[in-house]
Structure 1
Amino acid sequence: MRYVCEICGFLYDPSEGVPECNIPPGFPFDRVDEDWNCPECGSGKDNFTLLRG
């Protein structure tokens, strides 16, 4: 299940993680800290939505 930032389009793919944010591959989005921000635009986790399809 991938998530996309509604502000800039950054894609959070749990299979890849976000190494520059110390989020390892395989880390589910629902376990990412609530105060985490998009590494591209800085928007909050609440601006991410599940990518369908």
Structure 2
Amino acid sequence: MLRYAIVFFVVAVIAAIFGFTGIAAGAAEIAKVLFFIFVVIFVATLLLAAFR
């Protein structure tokens, strides 16, 4: 999931460089959502492992 967030971030940066602001904003939003989902799953996994 982190890989997909990084891919969408790179797409957003490249789109912003070429002036596609709508695509860049959409890709950045998707990257942000995927990153926060990754963080939540990562923390949940850490907590579950700590209580085992």
Give your verdict on TM over 0.5. Answer: no
Q: Relative to total residues, which structure has the larger helix share, 1 or 2?
A: 2
- TM-score, normalised to structure 2, is 0.23
- TM-score, normalised to structure 1, is 0.23
Q: If you compute each CA radius of gyration, which structure gives the higher value, 1 or 2?
A: 2
